[in-house]
Amino acid sequence: MIPSSASSLRPGGSEFKEPTLTPDQDRAPTPASTPEPSAEAVQALILAKLDEDKAEDVVLIDLQGKSPLADAIVVASGRSQRHVAAMADHLLRALKDAGHGKAAVEGLPHADWVLIDAGDVIVHLFRPEVRAFYQIEKIWSVQGPEAEAREARIARSDRAAMGG
């Protein structure tokens, strides 16, 4: 038999009444506002951790004012799948321990290409062969394809002028 009132019976037979809230208690408590970590602080932590973990060919791509996606992208290589996985794991722990929350991660089980979304900073960790194949830095290059084509034409004309 279910009691019809707001109270109910506990397993031991004692009655349980739901607490009533006073008007000033009817809102959920708001957590103390903690300042959002700056992109520079997250970026500095990431770069320091990658340096500590002996990441290779670390590149920082500044996206401030260029893309709403993030403020920066960090691209780095590891020597092997195990090295890439260890760097990603250490980076995730460091971000969490520093109070930057839990970053989203993709690709960790295979560790060929691990993407870590730390909010304002996105990290790509690659094995060297995979990084060479995808050339992610070229996608975000500041120059763009027109400038690269112009540079290639200049280099060809310089070689021709030198007789080579």
Answer whether residue 44 is part of any domain.
yes
Split into its structural domains, the chain has a count of 1
Residue 34 lies in a domain: no
| pLDDT, tens digit, 9 for 90 and up, residues 75-119 | 999 999 999 999 999 999 999 998 888 889 999 899 999 999 998
Domain that holds residue 136: 39-159
| Per-residue model confidence as pLDDT tens digits over 29-52 | 444 444 556 778 889 999 999 999
The CATH number of the domain holding residue 112 is 3.30.460.10
Residue 83 belongs to a domain: yes
Residue 15 within any structural domain of the chain = no
DSSP 53-80: TT-EEEEEEE-TTT-SS-SEEEEEE-SS
Determine, yes or no, domain membership for 131: yes
Span 6-15, pLDDT tens digits: 444 445 555 5
